[in-house]
Structure 1
Amino acid sequence: MQARVFFATITGNNEDVADVIVAAFKAANVDVIKEDIQLIDPQDINKDETDIVVVVPYTFDNGSLPDEALDFYEDLADTDLSGMVYGVSGSGDDFYGDDFAVAIDKFEQQFEKTGAIKGASGVKVNLSPDQAATKALQDFTQSLIETAKSQDK
């Protein structure tokens, strides 16, 4: 099984989130690659080589998507990822109230257009992952793996 984790970060918090997810994949003996989202074109994701796609975006300002993830986000709507499992988790700042980590919700809505299968509900981390968030991210990753295993490829 192969997973790819695409992240965007300014402060390093989201890379910390991605690192927890990557470690959980590795602990489950899943081959995983962590990549900067701005270097990825969703249309180049090979369905024969990728079972699980995880996006780790941060949210800034009043619910804005990361600038470095905008091209990926926009291209995602026109990408066929049928049969792949996806998940979205990331950091935000609960100071922003209703706009807290809404980039996760926006990416989940965009993934729905691709034909991919939602493998787990997104995990919203306040700033950097603490012990509770780390456990939630590990459970998120395990759910992605279980969903991928249940799919006929």
Structure 2
Amino acid sequence: MYASMTGNNEEIAGILEESFENLGCEVDNTEASQADASDFEDADICIVATYTDGEGEIPEEAQDFYDDLQEEDLAGKIYGVCGSGDRFYGEHFCATVDDFDQVFANTGAIKGAESVKVDLAAEAEDIDKLDAFAAQLVQKSNGQ
């Protein structure tokens, strides 16, 4: 699931989709307003790519998903969170990435990789981190 205002997280979701497909995974890449938290019940690996709105707020189009995710039981599922932000916002830089990370942990899901936070648009170094993120999630899902 991704939430994207500027297109940066849509791009991140696309990078991850390609990474997972290269690792032999089937991917369902859904924009936040079209996603339902219960969809994660049928997934082996659950990922959220999001931006942070204003001063640390969940994006409006992802708020319902965020609220519903808190009610899910995802015990045994592997999860990862990533997103883009602007370091200009200081302490609020990618705060929503951390918020989703906490909610996933509360669902009983297992963290498969450290969160990836991208400053603005993904560059070559960020793409390498996202590829590694995908690989770690698949390894964790495969019990390695």
Q: Which residue of 2 aligns with 1:27?
A: 22
**Please, which runs of 5 or more residues in structure 2 have no aligned partner?**
none
Q: Which residue of 2 aligns with 1:130?
A: 123
**Structure 2 CA distance, aligned partners of 1:97 and 1:34?**
29
**Structure 2 CA distance, aligned partners of 1:82 and 1:143?**
19
> TM-score when scaled to structure 1?
0.90
**Please, which runs of 5 or more residues in structure 1 have no aligned partner?**
1-5
Q: Which residue of 1 aligns with 2:91?
A: 98
**Cα distance per residue 1:35-69 (max 9 Å; x no partner):** 0122222124333xx10011001012211111000
**Structure 1 CA distance, aligned partners of 2:110 and 2:84?**
22
Q: Which residue of 1 aligns with 2:37?
A: 42
Q: Which residue of 2 aligns with 1:80?
A: 73
Q: Which residue of 2 aligns with 1:7?
A: 2
Bigger strand fraction: 1
**Structure 2 CA distance, aligned partners of 1:11 and 1:77?**
26
- SS in structure 2 at match of 1:125: strand
Q: Is contact 1:87-1:120 (8 Å) kept?
A: yes
Change (3 A) 1:14 1:44: closer
**Cα distance per residue 1:108-146 (max 9 Å; x no partner):** 001111111110111000111001111011111110000
**Structure 2 CA distance, aligned partners of 1:45 and 1:112?**
14
What amino acid does structure 2 have at the position aligned with 1:86?
Answer: Y
Aligned residues with identical type, % of pairs: 40
**Structure 1 CA distance, aligned partners of 2:122 and 2:27?**
20
Q: Which residue of 1 aligns with 2:100?
A: 107
